[in-house]
Amino acid sequence: MTNNSKPAPDRYGLVGHPVAHSRSPLIHTVFARQTRQNLTYELLDAAPHAFETAVRGFGAAGGKGLNVTVPHKEAAFALCDETSAAAQKAGAVNTISIKGGRLRGDNTDGVGFIRDVTVNQHQRLGGARIIVLGAGGAARGIVGPLLAEQPAELTIANRTKERAEEIVAQFAGSLLGVCGFDELAALPPFDVLINATSAGLKGETPPFPGTLIAPESFCYDLVYGSGDTPFVTWAKAQGAARAVQGWGMLVEQAAESFAIWRGIRPDTKPLLKQSARWTSHRPQRAPGMMCEIRGAFG
């Protein structure tokens, strides 16, 4: 490098399986432009057996940080040399910082989710009866922050009931209930329903009973996409007052990751404003970005 040449950009990325349709590169590129940070953001598709090699290889090649998505968040927690309090509570990591070959794990899913629901969507969680459908890494990330909002009740339901029981055991408290999907029909409607399953990535909604929803229910899908996700379509068909997909959470958790890596928190408002257009039914191009938003993505 000569004195006049620009330093090489710092490398960041997302590791998951699949990752091809992720909008994280778009979000971090917009943040980098806004905050004048010299960085790149790439996608690493790694099946579970190749996850550790992918992370260590990225670090050895000079990579500074990785976001982690389906299905690696719990494996990332196990891999990191040190972890934040939020990651420890969740038992899951979605943000890895790499320094001198050491991996530090954080979890920004919870704070991103709470910010989108309470600040962007103006939905009250305190005193509400809430159900989380799903018990994977994302559900683990949001349970602690949800409890901190002091709901009246928080139930975790999962196809594999044992995974929901593990989360409840970890957060032991009288507010928490647990059930399998086959027990949902016996429950009264909830004020807030959160879909934390990855079924929407395949264009599916698990067969949730419509009795979970009352006319005033607020439904939130962690999956995001262009237009309504399968869960949002289902919730609206059941008569939910409001049903929202997870684009705002993606933007907010990304802003938290960016702040951890770069020491500066980007303003999410411009991206959230754009999202109304980007997530409309008609596929569109984001300004200055060569990517089309289509379908449901995690």
- For the beta carbon of residue 185, count every other beta carbon within 10 angstroms: 12
Determine the Cα–Cα distance for residues 245 and 232; give it in Å rounded to an integer: 7
Considering 73, 89, 236, 269, which one is annotated as catalytic? 73
Applying CB under 6 A, among 197, 217, 226, 268 the residue interacting with ligand NAP is: 197
Smallest gap, in angstroms, from Cβ of residue 197 to ligand NAP?
4
In the complex with ligand NAP, which residue's Cβ is closer, 183 or 215? 183
**10-16 sheet: strands from edge to edge:** 39-45, 10-16, 65-68, 95-99, 102-106, 82-83
In the complex with ligand NAP, which residue's Cβ is closer, 160 or 211? 160
Question: The tokens of 127 are what?
Answer: 């005193």
Question: Which residue(s) pair with 99 in the sheet?
Answer: 102
Please list every residue from 213 through 242 that binds ligand NAP, using CB under 6 A: 222-224
* Omega prior to 71 cis, within 30 of 0: yes
Q: Is 232 helix (H, G, I), strand (E, B) or coil?
A: helix
Residue 38: closest CA among 5, 10, 58: 10
In the complex with ligand NAP, which residue's Cβ is closer, 152 or 291? 291
Q: Is 73 a catalytic residue?
A: yes
In the complex with ligand NAP, which residue's Cβ is closer, 56 or 161? 161
The amino acid that residue 112 corresponds to is G
Smallest gap, in angstroms, from Cβ of residue 3 to ligand NAP?
41
Q: How many CA atoms lie within 13 A of 272 on its CB side?
A: 21
Number of residues lying near ligand NAP (CB under 6 A):
31
The reply to whether 138 sits near ligand NAP by the rule CB under 6 A is yes
Q: How many CA atoms lie within 13 A of 1 on its CB side?
A: 7
The reply to whether 109 sits near ligand NAP by the rule CB under 6 A is yes
In the complex with ligand NAP, which residue's Cβ is closer, 56 or 163? 163
Applying CB under 6 A, among 64, 73, 115, 129 the residue interacting with ligand NAP is: 73
Residues that bind ligand NAP (CB under 6 A): 69-71, 73, 109, 134-139, 158-160, 163, 196-201, 204, 206, 222-224, 246, 249-250, 253, 298
Please give the positions annotated as active site: 73
